[in-house]
């Protein structure tokens, strides 16, 4: 029994000596400057609302310039009226928006032989079916970002998701307000 205790004590002593003698000398506190701080900077983005049923741009505040934040801002401003602008999205909410690769085989984006952009998939929820002007607002707002080549829209319903297709703003140029140039 004594031998086991001596072996255990020796093993414990060796373990403690090994951790104490790691070869690094202790130092005092080192001042490395101010602590890092995240800057909560907002951004300004254009979104498309409706003036007399036609698409017109409005600048709004967003959390960032990210496409997802701009789409979220479109839905938020659609709930408020003002400036003579309305929205076909006022009774809808955005559930999710996701950027993904778009193009031939989804290859490398900077390869001139295989140009690839991004597709924004927007999933919305609301009563009734999302109309053409509502899809135009979503699509043309997203297409203000030149790296987004297409917008895929899905509406969730009690019966399950309803795919509303993939769109570009060119489909909705007939909905532009006078003097408004819509993105491609």
- Quick one: pLDDT at residue 107? 47
Q: What is the pLDDT of residues 26-47, one digit of tens each?
A: 677 766 667 666 666 778 999 9
Mean pLDDT over 96-103 rounds to 86
Q: Is the pLDDT of residue 133 over 70?
A: yes
Angstrom distances, CA of residue 110 to CA of 115, 143, 150: 7, 20, 18
Token pair for 160 = 């399950």
> Considering only CA atoms, which of 172, 160, 90 is closest in space to residue 123?
160
- Quick one: pLDDT at residue 40? 63
- Quick one: pLDDT at residue 166? 96
Residue bearing the bigger pLDDT, 102 or 77: 77
Q: For residue 125, what pLDDT band results from cuts at 50, 70 and 90? A: very high
Name all contacts of 168-171 with Cβ < 8 Å and 24+ positions apart: 168/139, 168/143, 169/136, 169/139, 169/140, 169/143, 171/136, 171/139
Token pair for 162 = 């309803």
Q: Is the pLDDT of residue 101 over 50?
A: yes
Ranges of each domain in the chain: 43-175
Q: For residue 102, what pLDDT band results from cuts at 50, 70 and 90? A: confident
């Amino acid at each position: 029994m004594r031998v086991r205790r001596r072996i255990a004590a020796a093993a414990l002593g060796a373990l403690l000596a090994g951790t104490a003698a790691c070869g690094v000398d202790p130092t005092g506190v080192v001042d490395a400057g101010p602590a890092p701080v995240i800057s909560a900077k907002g951004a300004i983005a254009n979104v498309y609302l409706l003036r007399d049923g036609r698409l017109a741009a409005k600048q709004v505040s967003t959390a960032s310039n990210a496409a997802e934040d701009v789409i979220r801002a479109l839905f938020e401003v659609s709930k408020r009226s003002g400036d003579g602008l309305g929205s076909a999205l006022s009774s809808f909410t955005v559930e999710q928006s996701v950027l993904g690769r778009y193009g031939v085989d989804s290859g490398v984006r900077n390869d001139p032989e295989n140009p690839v952009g991004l597709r924004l998939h927007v999933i919305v929820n609301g009563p009734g079916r999302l109309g053409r002007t509502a899809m135009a607002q979503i699509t043309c707002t997203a297409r203000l970002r030149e790296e987004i080549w297409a917008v895929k829209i899905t509406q969730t319903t009690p019966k399950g998701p309803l795919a509303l297709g993939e769109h570009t703003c060119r489909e909705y140029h007939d909905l532009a307000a006078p003097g408004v140039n819509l993105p491609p």
